[in-house]
Structure 1
C-alpha cells in the first residue's frame, strides 16, 4: 500500500501551520523538490490545500477524513484529495475525489484539450480527469465496482472565474458538481453536504478512509486481455491524463478530415516503457473500427503482431486484418486509410521500397493515411537499422507538408505503476545523468511496492520466479542478453524437434525460445513465447520480449555488458547478436537499451543475475 498522508481538517491545518504536512507529502510522493519550494507540486500543495480546508470548514466538514495524494491502483497518477465519510440518508461509505487546479486567466479550447495560461503542455478537461480517476478506482476495487454511486468527483479551479472557464463549460463535461470555479465555491460547499454527513464522528470517517486505503486492488488486466474484450464491446482501457489527451488529439484530427479538411495531421506520442502507448493504440483502433473508419494497427515486430492475431483476433478474420506490419504499405494509394496507428514506431526501419517509388518506410506510413499516428520510445531502439525517433518522424512529416502534434506521456503504468522504478533502471544502466542508487533508498517512505531483487545464480533466480507464481495465476519469464549460441532444433527421436539447451551457465542449462518459423514439441512458437504458459521453460531474448509484459521478470545479464571500475563496459566480442555488432559506434547504446527493455517487462517485480561476478555484486548492491 502506498504511504498515506491523511487527517481531519483540524489535524491537516495544524500540520500545514507547523510545516510537517508538506514534509510528509514530499516523503510520501518521492518528490524531488525541497519542502520550501514555492512552485511546482510543493507550491501547489502550499497554495491549494489551505483553500480546500477552508471550504470544508465552512461546510461543517471538520470530522471528514481527508486523504492527500492517493495513488490510483497500477498507476503513477494521484488524486489530490479524497474526502472520506458517510453519505447522508444512507450511511453508506462515501468518497469525493477532488482535483485542485491553480488555473487562472482564460482557458482556450484546442484540438484534443485545453490551453491554460502559464502551462506549456495541453491540458485535459479537469472534470474528465477526475471522472477517469474515479473509473480507475472502480475498475480495481471490486467492492466499489459493485457500488459505483459511492464515488463522486469534482474539479475545483479555486483561482479561476466563470468567464475564464467558458471553454470548459462548452465542452463535454458541464455538470456543475463536476467543475467548480472560485465564483462557484458555494456550489462545492453544497456538494460536500450532499455527499458527506457532517454529523458523523471522526473515528467513523477515519475507518471509512482506512477501508479504502487497505482494500486490496484486483489483479491488473494485461494489455492483451483488455484489448480482446474491446473488440467484443466488453472492456476498455481507462486512459488517464496525457493518454486521453493523445486519444482526443487523434479523434479530433479524424473528425477534421471527415468534415473535409484536407490537411494531413500527424500525431506523435512519446512515452517510456509501460506509459500506456499500446493502450492508446488499442483504444483508438477499437473505437475507429466500431465507427466504420478505415484504420489499421501496424508494428515492426512479428512477435507482437502475431500475438495480437492469436490473443485479440482469436480467429476473427475481420479483426485479424486490422493488425499489419510497417512493411505492408508499399503498394497502397495515398490517403487510402483514415488512420494508421504505428505502435512501437521506434522500430521503423531505415530502408526504401522499390515497390513504392523508392520511398522510405516512414514516408509510406505517412502517405497511406489521412491521420498517421506514431507511438514510440526512443530508448527502445535496439538494432542499428531502427530509426524511429521523434526528430526523424517529425522532420519527414514536416517535409511532406503535414501538421505535427506531439504528446509526451508521463509515468509508468506497468511495473505496478511505480514512478521510481523506471528512474532506478535508467540510473542503474547509466542512461541518466544521476548516478545509480540503492532501490530501498530511492523508495524509502513512499510505499512503493515494486519488488527488485538480485540472485547469485540463474537457478536461484528461476526458483524465485517459480515461488512468485506458485498458488497464483501470475506469469513469469526469464530473458537474457544475446550472449550464447542459438542452435537449430534437433530431432527428438519421436518424429519431432527439440530445442537445444544453449544458455548454459554452470550446471544450469536452458534453451532459447523457439527460433522464428520453427515448430517444436512442448514449446510455443517464437511469437508466443511471452504469452503462452509454456514459454517459462525457455529463455527469451530482446526480440521476443519487447512489447510484452508479464507479472514477474527474470533478467540475466551476459558478458556483453559488465561493470569494471564502477563503470559499465560494453564488450562487443561477447555478443552473439550479429545485427547489433555491425554498428560498432552504437553498440554500447544499443546493448544498454536492450537491458532497459528487458528490465521493464515485469508488472509486479524483477529478479536480476549477471554471469559476471563483479557485475552481479554491483547489481546486488543497488537492488537491495
Structure 2
C-alpha cells in the first residue's frame, strides 16, 4: 500500500514540506501514527537528502516517486522508490533504503552492523541486506512484478555517513553483491545507478499497477519452498505425523472458500510438532497459499531459517517465518494459513504493538485457517496463555470450525515413554505412581561435579555438534554488558561459564563454537539435541523429602516470573501455584531436549540425592 506517490517534478515541488505531506499520507493511507523521530528523519532523508539526488537532469521528470510503500501484510515499508522504464522500454523500479547513521561499527552478528539507533548503540541488519530483502519480497510475492516482469534494483543510501570501510567490508560480500551502499559525497554514483535503470517516465502508473496487484507466492518461490525439505531426513514424517499433516492441508483448502478453520494439535515433547509445522508450510506454500510459520520463541525460527536457507537466493525465506506479535492491526483473513508452533507460549498482548489485546485472537482473525501446535505442560513464563480452552473460545466467537488432533507417539528421548513418565513424576508434574526408570535405551545420569558434566557433553558434541549445556535461569546475565565476566560460577569445582553469547544470535544452538556457551529455556525451547547437560539451580529445593520450588532462586534478569510478586500480593495462593507450575515445566522442557541422553548437576545436594534415589529405585 502506497503512502506518498508523485512524479519527480511534483516531488521536487513538495520537497520543502515533504515531511508534512508524508506524515499526513502515512496516517491517511496506512492508518499509522507518526512519532517525532520518524517525522524528523523524513525532513533529513527526503527534504535534505533525496531531493538533491532526484533533481539531477539525468533522471526523467515523469519518473515515479513513492515514499513509505507498505510492502507486505506484516507492514514492512520501503523508504523510497524511483520507477519508470529502461532504455529497451521494459518497466523498472529502484528501491532505496535510507539511513541517517553517521558512524558505523562492526557487529558480531552475521549480516549486521552496529550503530546508534533509538538512543543507544544497537546491532541492526546491514542496510544492503534490508534493501535486497524488500526487493526479493516484491519479486516473489507481487503478482504484477513477477508476471510482467518488472526489473527490481536495490541499494542503500547513508547520506550522513562519511566512511565506507565498515559497510563495504568483505564480510558483507553476500549482502553487497547486488545491492550497493552509498554514503555522503557519493551523489554522482547513486544518480548514475538510478539513471541507468530509469531512462523514461510513466513511473506513477507503474507503481499504481504494482500497488493494485494481488499478493500471491510466485511459482519460483513455490518451487523453492517445495524443494527446501528434499533430502533432509530430519523433516521426514512417520505414521500419525503424516495423518496430521494431510488433515492440516485438507482443512486449509476448505478454509479458502468456507468458514474460518481452527486446528488444535496437542502433543508432548518429541512427538514431531515442529516437523509437521514446517512440512505444512512447505506443502501449503507449494500450492501458492499465503502461509506463515509463527512462533513466540525466536530460537526455532532462527534455526529453521539457517537450515533451510540454501533453498533460497535472497532474503525471502525470512518472510516465511514470523513472531507471534506481528498480527496486531492486520486485516481479517489477510493470510490463508498461519501455523503457530509452540502455541502454549502465546501472550495476552504484544509488548511493542499499540492496540494489541490477545495474540490468540489476533492470529485467528488474521487467517482463514489457523493451526496451533501446543503442549500446555511447556508453559514456562508468567505471561504464557496458550491453552486449548482459550483457543476454542476465540474460535467460537469468530464462527470458526474447530478441529482437534493429537500426537501420541514420541521420538525424542530415544522414544522412551518410560523416561518421560518417570521425569513427570519425579518433577511433581504427574502423580507419583511408583514408576522406576529402567529404560536402557536412554542415558540419564546425575553428576556431582559440573566440570565433569561439561566435559562429558563436550565429548559427546565432538561426534556431530549436537550436544549442548542448558541451565535453569538462576544466574543474572552479567556477561551481556561485560564480556570479561562469567555468569555461572562454581569455584569449588573450578567451573565458570557464560550464557549463550548474544553475538551468536537466536540460532546459537547449532553454531559450531557454541559448545562454550550455556543456554536457557528462552533459547532452547522447541529445539532438540542428542545429549543435553542441565544445571538445576536453587529454584528447586527439598522439603520433607519432596521436591519443592523456590521462585526467589530465579535470576532478576529472567522474565519468566515477571508478574509473580504483584500477583502474590493480591492472591498468594494462586501466585504460588502458578510459579510452582512454571518452574517445574521449565525443567521438564530442558530435560527433554536430549534425544539420546540427559545429564544433570544440581546446585542443591539434597535435590541431587532426590534424583539419584528415584533413579535407583
State TM-score, norm by structure 2.
0.58
**Matching residue within 526, 544, 548 for 1:569:** 548
Q: Aligned with 1:406: secondary structure?
A: strand
User: How far 1:369 moved relative to its partner?
Assistant: 1.1
**Matching residue within 349, 352, 368 for 1:351:** 349
- Contact 2:226/2:285 (<8 A) preserved: no
Matches of residues 194-209 of structure 1 in structure 2 within 5 Å?
A: none
Q: Aligned with 2:373: secondary structure?
A: strand
Matches of residues 21-100 of structure 1 in structure 2 within 5 Å?
A: none
Matched, 1:550 2:542: no
Query: Paired residues, what number?
Result: 377
User: How far 1:388 moved relative to its partner?
Assistant: 0.2
Matched, 1:509 2:509: no
Measured in 1, the distance between the counterparts of 2:255 and 2:388 equals 24
For the structure 1 residues 354 and 538, does the alpha-carbon distance in structure 2 shift closer, same or farther, using more than 3 Å as the test?
A: closer
User: How far 1:228 moved relative to its partner?
Assistant: 9.4
**Matching residue within 258, 265, 279 for 2:261:** 265
User: How far 1:301 moved relative to its partner?
Assistant: 0.8
Please give the per-residue CA displacement for 1:204-257, whole angstroms capped at 9, x wherever unaligned.
xxxxxxxxxxxxxxxxxxxxxxx9995164446332333222212211112223
User: How far 1:275 moved relative to its partner?
Assistant: 0.7
**Matching residue within 459, 471, 478 for 2:469:** 478
For the structure 1 residues 354 and 553, does the alpha-carbon distance in structure 2 shift closer, same or farther, using more than 3 Å as the test?
A: closer
- Contact 1:505/1:611 (<8 A) preserved: no
- Contact 1:250/1:371 (<8 A) preserved: no
Unaligned residue ranges in structure 1 (runs of 5+): 1-226, 492-496
Q: Aligned with 1:248: secondary structure?
A: helix
Question: Could you say which residue in structure 2 is the equivalent of 1:296?
Answer: 292
For the structure 1 residues 499 and 408, does the alpha-carbon distance in structure 2 shift closer, same or farther, using more than 3 Å as the test?
A: farther
Measured in 2, the distance between the counterparts of 1:530 and 1:355 equals 29
**Matching residue within 528, 540, 557 for 2:507:** 528
Matched, 1:281 2:277: yes
Unaligned residue ranges in structure 2 (runs of 5+): 1-223, 565-574
**Matching residue within 325, 336, 339 for 1:338:** 336
Please give the per-residue CA displacement for 1:447-499, whole angstroms capped at 9, x wherever unaligned.
x51111111111121122233334x22521111111122204466xxxxx445
User: How far 1:354 moved relative to its partner?
Assistant: 9.6
**Matching residue within 209, 228, 231 for 2:228:** 231
Question: Could you say which residue in structure 1 is the equivalent of 2:519?
Answer: 540
User: How far 1:355 moved relative to its partner?
Assistant: 6.3
User: How far 1:558 moved relative to its partner?
Assistant: 0.6
Question: Could you say which residue in structure 2 is the equivalent of 1:244?
Answer: 242
- Contact 2:475/2:487 (<8 A) preserved: no
Matched, 1:455 2:452: no
Q: Aligned with 2:368: secondary structure?
A: strand
- Contact 2:225/2:286 (<8 A) preserved: no
Measured in 1, the distance between the counterparts of 2:595 and 2:528 equals 7
User: How far 1:415 moved relative to its partner?
Assistant: 1.3
For the structure 1 residues 348 and 255, does the alpha-carbon distance in structure 2 shift closer, same or farther, using more than 3 Å as the test?
A: same
For the structure 1 residues 436 and 490, does the alpha-carbon distance in structure 2 shift closer, same or farther, using more than 3 Å as the test?
A: farther
Measured in 1, the distance between the counterparts of 2:495 and 2:318 equals 37
For the structure 1 residues 402 and 466, does the alpha-carbon distance in structure 2 shift closer, same or farther, using more than 3 Å as the test?
A: same
Question: Could you say which residue in structure 2 is the equivalent of 1:414?
Answer: 412
Measured in 2, the distance between the counterparts of 1:431 and 1:293 equals 40
User: How far 1:501 moved relative to its partner?
Assistant: 4.1
Question: Could you say which residue in structure 2 is the equivalent of 1:160?
Answer: none
- Contact 1:415/1:450 (<8 A) preserved: yes
Measured in 2, the distance between the counterparts of 1:457 and 1:396 equals 49
Please give the per-residue CA displacement for 1:331-385, whole angstroms capped at 9, x wherever unaligned.
3221111110001001100116896865421111001111100001101100011
Q: Aligned with 1:416: secondary structure?
A: helix
C-alpha RMSD over aligned residues: 2.4
Measured in 2, the distance between the counterparts of 1:354 and 1:480 equals 28
Q: Aligned with 1:512: secondary structure?
A: strand
- Contact 2:531/2:596 (<8 A) preserved: yes
Q: Aligned with 1:608: secondary structure?
A: strand
- Contact 2:327/2:363 (<8 A) preserved: yes
For the structure 1 residues 504 and 490, does the alpha-carbon distance in structure 2 shift closer, same or farther, using more than 3 Å as the test?
A: farther
For the structure 1 residues 499 and 276, does the alpha-carbon distance in structure 2 shift closer, same or farther, using more than 3 Å as the test?
A: farther
Q: Aligned with 1:562: secondary structure?
A: strand
